[in-house]
Amino acid sequence: MSVQEEYKFSGRPVYQTFHNQDYYIYKFEIANKEKEVVSIKGNIGQLERNRTYIVHADQKQVHPKFGASYSVKAIYMDKPHGADETRAFLQEILSDRQANNLCDAYPDIIDRILQNKNVNLSKIKGVGKKTWEKIEKKIKENFIFFDIVNELDGMFDFKMIKKLFDQYHSKEMIFQKLSEDPYRCLCEISRIGFKRADELLLKAEEYFSSKGKKAPIKFYEEDLRYSEGRCKACIDYLLQKNEDDGSSRMKISSLKKSVAELIPECADYFQVSIEDDRMFFCYTDKDQEHYITRTRMAYMEAYIAKKIHIYLESRPILSRRWKEIDPEDYKVGDGFMRSKKQLSLLKTLKNNNIIILNGPAGTGKSATITEVIEVAKDLKLSVELMAPTGKAAKVQEEYTGLPASTIHRGLCYTKTGEVGKFEREFIDSDLLIIDEMSMTDIYLTYHIMKRLDVRKCKVIIVGDDAQLPSVGTGNILHDLLKSKDIPKITLDTVYRYDDNGIMKAATDMRKGKEFLPSDLQENDVFTLGDDNNYVFCQTSDDVLLAKTLCLYKALLEQGRDPEDIQVLTAYNGGKFGVDTLNRYFQWYANPWDENDDVIKYDNWYYHVGDFVMNIKNIYNPCDEDGHILINEMIANGDSGYITRIEKKDFWIDFNGRTYKMNQGALENMKLSYAITYHKSQGSSIQTPIIITPASHQYMLNSNLMYVGASRAKKKLYHIGAAEVVNRCVHKHSNWTRSTNFKYMFNCEEEFLEQLLNKFTLNEKVA
């Protein structure tokens, strides 16, 4: 195969013409005599208009009307020329104040640093020795990145190289690691998918081979396309994808078929590639299939099973205080009689070290847990509350009156660069209550179990088996509920079903029961409950968006806050998806004018007063003065309001605490006026609006709608078509996930111990 012609040129972006996620198209002025304006396109991110870029492209097309366009292989900023470019560059990597002070004192500051010339710090305002060392390191690192990208002829972009540099710290080590294990470098460290990495590496090998001895790196000893390393990387990718889809193991026959489809040239290496210490194999008599799991995942599953076995087989923790519990003393609550099942929880907890409390919305789980906590307080027992998300922890705090934390925060998770770890060694409270267990995956469950003190800490696992399974790997709650060994209390009496419209709608959705009249006409309104707190509006897709906007505006005019009237929908994209709805609701909830402060990220404009959600854990954030808060985090799912914007910095209030962030943090933020049903799980909303358009029928099912309806605290508005709802309540979420845990849990403890000892220390989880 011949190597494609390569184009290399420099210039500046004129304006952006198209954008979809990471894919951009720009009009670009080439720095030549003609100042030719062309189009450049590809996964190139946002470009600064006042900066000069060097472009490596491998395809050129000429359109008779629109002119020349290039497919970008790599693009990176050129070294700045002149005072304005220097100042703009420094503002990218330093604060505005630092950049301005450096430029004022030394207009040639970048050249001075790169040439190791002396700099008199007394001339630079506000910069001491330690700050200078950090600035010097930042600037040198940035230009090392440019040199590496350039030496690799643009085959790998700036973002990839920066992540590799963070890991390996030198050009020489990056080249060495790319040669030894190129797929790990790109997939695990640079965080790009196998397919994209495979495409890049095959293209790079072909290009470097054409350069002969002048090539900066060479992959493996054999041809990359037919290599064992490529086969192993593909297997890792497929097993990771399987875990991302919720299953911890995969049929070997299915894996082999997928490898043959993706990289047929490497099919002969399949058997030798799976014969690796990183793989665990098992055979099940039930379906007579051989399965494969990554050893790290199998170890966590075996450990969880073993720890629960120890809990079940240990004598009950019966300190003098636990012995004092008499369930009969707690028959009467605040004006009502507790059910037998609620009372049996105290008795079961007294005689067992680990139990499950399961029940849908409206059955009294919160009241039951509150009562257990009151009993623990009476006995002077310590209680700790955890939940998988920030929203779920906040709800725990609201109904118990005690502090609650996310599992990450409760286990003191810290992160430096790409490396994270749980700092807490033991959970030694008398009672640990884990809420929303259906959302908790194998990874988090393992880290909880690893730190439990079996001699002291009793555990209550709280969940709702009608809610959606975890986003991560596994189905722990459902697997435990199927076991006959673990004690469990299932609350099934829904209180106020007959007079509370929200409870009736949510319960009927969960049970797959049609509850909306089939003869509703367009604009008909149907209510449930003595106080009409469930309101359904019959609406076709043609006017659903307009009607939702009108209702949202009316609720705002009544004085409701955006956090109290979130709109829930099934999809992120599309006409009725989160992204579309947020653009509309942002204007209604937080109107702005051209003089307002604004900060932009990825085609979204954020203003002071916007309601946003954090969608990824943020570790070691800065307080409002910019000081780093070591060992603190902002949890995935936390929502708050932007309170201030200054150039490329903004301040946001999460739950009464203000944090300072830079523009890049918006990568992990989304407007939160509308969210998906999945993102709402674990939260509590005063007056949500759920929409069920006909175009969402493929995704909608009873469990999804039940999750949405059961978020409501005071009133629930539901906009959609009755025939769609009545049809979709008969569909249920697929909880089938192929895991080793449910089989390991039924194994003898001795076998599990032997299994754990087989795993090498390198594969055990830190």
Asked if the domains 7-77 and 298-490 are classified in one and the same CATH topology, the answer is no
Instruction: Please state whether beta strands 405-406 and 383-387 pair in parallel, antiparallel, or not at all (unpaired).
Output: parallel
User: Between residues 568 and 67, which one has the greater pLDDT?
Assistant: 568
Highest mean pLDDT among 72-81, 282-291, 665-674: 665-674
Outline where 264-354 has alpha helix (H): 270-274, 295-313, 320-323, 340-351
What's the pLDDT tens digit per position in 219-260?
776 788 999 999 999 999 999 999 999 999 999 999 999 999
What CATH number belongs to 513-730?
3.40.50.300
Average pLDDT over residues 42-70: 81
Tell me the DSSP string of 729-747: TT---------SHHHHTTS
What's the pLDDT tens digit per position in 647-702?
889 999 998 899 999 888 898 899 999 999 999 998 999 999 999 999 999 999 99
Q: Could you tell me the two tokens for 624?
A: 């409002």
Q: Which CATH architecture has domain 7-77?
A: Beta Barrel (2.40)
Question: What does the radius of gyration of the chain's CA atoms come to, in whole angstroms?
Answer: 29
Write down the domain spans for the chain: 7-77, 228-293, 298-490, 513-730
- CA-nearest of 622, 610, 731, 715 to 672 is 610
Q: What is the pLDDT of residue 306?
A: 92
Identify the DSSP state of 75. Answer: E
How many other β-carbons are positioned within 10 Å of the β-carbon of residue 518? 8
What's the pLDDT tens digit per position in 359-417?
999 998 998 899 889 888 888 899 999 999 888 999 999 999 999 999 998 998 877 65
Highest mean pLDDT among 46-50, 86-90, 158-162, 648-652: 648-652
Distance CA 376, CA 60 (A): 72
Distance CA 74, CA 197 (A): 14
Domain 228-293 in this protein, CATH class: mainly alpha
Instruction: Report whether pLDDT(2) > 50.
Output: no
Average pLDDT over residues 281-303: 85
Distance CA 66, CA 732 (A): 50
Q: What is the pLDDT of residue 93?
A: 66
Amino acid at 22: D
Q: What are phi and psi of 641, to 5 degrees?
A: -115, 135
Amino acid at 32: N
Q: Could you tell me the two tokens for 284?
A: 């099940």
What's the pLDDT tens digit per position in 344-354?
888 888 888 99
Distance CA 494, CA 360 (A): 8
- CA-nearest of 405, 302, 407 to 757 is 302
Instruction: Report whether pLDDT(713) > 90.
Output: yes
Helices (H) then strands (E): counts for the chain: 27, 32
Can you name the residues that pair with 645 across neighbouring β-strands? 650
Amino acid at 612: V
Distance CA 725, CA 533 (A): 18
Distance CA 202, CA 224 (A): 7
Identify the DSSP state of 292. Answer: E
Do 367 and 333 meet the contact criterion of CB atoms below 8 Å apart?
A: yes
Can you name the residues that pair with 537 across neighbouring β-strands? 525, 719
Distance CA 206, CA 215 (A): 11
What CATH number belongs to 298-490?
3.40.50.300
Can you name the residues that pair with 55 across neighbouring β-strands? 9, 75
Amino acid at 46: Q
